[in-house]
Amino acid sequence: MSRRLALIVALAAVLAAPAVAQPPAESVAPPNPLLQEWTTPFGVPPFAEIKPEHFLPAIKAGIAEQRRETDAIANDPQPATFANTIAALDESGELLQKVSAVFSNLNSADTNAQLQAINRETTPLLSALRDDVRLNPKLFARVKAVWDARETLGLTPVQMRLLENTYKSFVRSGANLSADDQAKLRKINAELSMLGVKFGENLLHDTNAFRLVIDKEADLAGLPPSVVASGADTAKAAGLAGKWVYTLQAPSIWPFMTYADNRELRKQIFTAYTTRCDHNDEYDNKAVLAKTAALRAERAQLLGFQSYADFVLEENMAKTPKGVYDLLNQLWTPARAVAIKEAAAQQALIDQAGGAFKLEPYDWWYYTEKVRKARFDLDDQALRPYFKVENVREGLFYVANRLYGLTFTPRPDLPVYNPEVAAFEVKDADGTTLGVFYTDYHPRAGKRVGAWTSGFRGTRVKDGKRVLPIVTNVANFSRGSGDQPAQLSLEEVQTLFHEAGHALNSLLSQVPYSGVSRGPRDFTELQSQIMENWALEPEVLKVYAKHYQTGEVIPLDLVEKIRKSDQFNQGFATVEYLAASLLDMDWHTVTATTPQDARSFEDAAMEKIQMPREIVSRYRSPYFNHVFGPGGGYAAGYYGYIWADVLVADAFEAFKEKGLFDQATAQSFRKNILEAGGTEDAMTLYVRFRGREPSVEPLLRKRGLTGN
């Protein structure tokens, strides 16, 4: 055998031999993008890189880091100072804030089963962290040492405000309680955090679970073509092509309630809406909310307050439950009287048409629209073509520019968390970048109901530089159908401007510390609600309200009809809102620490105020997410919208008196209201802008509740 042949034979033998297993190479997990520095423009989250599995380890890492930071502050051998204790606390937890902001926003606007599971797992961890920080005796001792020496430290007014907020947050979190009471408080806090998660998940389920399926074209009678087309689109997306589907999402249910001639179908969908989480099944929220209210009462009493409302309102402009009830009752009597007249007008219309029935809550939208058309010749559907969503957003940008010199530049290069999201760079009049603004306007299964403003990063000063905020406006506005673009109702137009007001508050904020970024809850709605006033001003409408097909500016006669109908249905709107506000206050002035029967409690609350039988409270208890949902941010605070509306009606009169875009007035509002955050007492800031305290009379006039 030649040498060459021998080599070939040997090689063949090797190739034929069974492979010897090699030890696997050590697998290296890719880096977690949530734990890396973001090199994206403006440091926005790199959404495409972030996966659900990244959140749990990142949140845990953030918790661990904040523990290390606060332990270092607590154990600092140097005497406590404003810098090494108060400012250091304000700066702590940066990683956790960064990760939590991304998670909470996605869990609200684009959630899925994985994110919900992570939320359930991390909520008690975060609750425990908050308690561990606020109930750390060594840390509180340092905070108290600075507080006790405050008059000798030469602090600026803003530093003094941060010190006060920090000290109060420890005291209001139980730092002065005994060890036994602190243990009770920890248990209550943990349970409350999970009850909020459960409430929100139940509501999302029941909102998504119902659909009204129509398979007979005759049942579509009365519906405008756009509403029919929308129902067909929803059906097609659900695999029911050839039928029509209507859901409990706001852009679906309310047009149906307004125009559908079929009274039985209106009753079905309205009943489904008003009985969400009230079916005595696994998604029922009655026991959840009753337990929540009882635990809140127990928590408040542990902290030395008579009720949870007393605890919350101590920090708000209203100060006491009596202050809130006095305002609400002052408005309730005239609003109820107007609503009863509105109901009588609708009943007359029913009687004239030969209807042998009494007006029911599920009739209100339908007959209100008929009265509106008869009285003002105004049809909401005729207005929608002038309110293409992109045009309305441009109208908002126009107002922000005229008032404050802001510009909004589309940034399609910025990462977004959903293809429907749009991103904008916001610049001041001098070209300085103020922040990033995201808009996310349409409903989807993974988005909770309603409209809100949030952010992926707040503003503060770090290393001598202003941190740019990343702000989001999220809503559930009407979608386009077929080849038509999304066209908004008047109410949706105002909501878009409303949420943008919150966004402007964040984008223009000039606060140096996170701990003074927000004012009282019942003050923050001023910044948003005042923006609604510009939305329907004729001078503004002519800029953005253009027919999506022809480009025609909204006709002057339509603008005049809008103006004349401004006070129409205000009895109903005020009554349904006030009823929810009073219900919220009733739940949170309870002193009993045992759960109430939720349905009986709510019935008694409505009976006490003699709620008109034709109207249902804007939120019934089982789906009152503002109050009982995750965080419960509006608990004992839902009244804040009407409190703010008193401020808004009074404040907007200043613009009407001096000019819609008067620069002196606008700059005063920007400086004292939008930029200042919670750096000073809210009423002090308002008086500095307005020159006096607000009056309720402008609101009564605005809503037509004066009795004249």
State the catalytic residues. Answer: 499
Helix axes 250-259, 364-376, angle to 10 degrees: 60
d(CA 689, CA 75): 44
State in Å, rounded, how far the first CA of the chain is from the last one: 120
CB 416 within 8 A of CB 423: yes
Nearest alpha-carbon partner for 457 in 95, 173, 69: 95
**Lookup result for tokens 């904020």:** 509
Q: Which helix (H) or strand (E) holds 593?
A: none
**Which SS3 state, helix, strand or coil, does residue 551 take?**
coil
**Which SS3 state, helix, strand or coil, does residue 473 take?**
strand
Task: Indicate the residue type of 222.
Answer: G
d(CA 131, CA 189): 8
Q: How far is CA 319 from CA 307, 312, 582, 586, in A?
A: 13, 8, 16, 16
Nearest alpha-carbon partner for 633 in 588, 673, 578: 588
**Which SS3 state, helix, strand or coil, does residue 444 take?**
coil
CB 276 within 8 A of CB 248: yes
Q: Give the angle subtended at the CA of 347 by the CAs of 573 and 338, to the nearest 5°.
A: 35
Output 425-429 pairs: Cβ under 8 A, ≥24 positions apart.
425/42, 426/507, 428/404, 429/404, 429/405
Length, in residues, of the chain: 708
**Which SS3 state, helix, strand or coil, does residue 10 take?**
helix
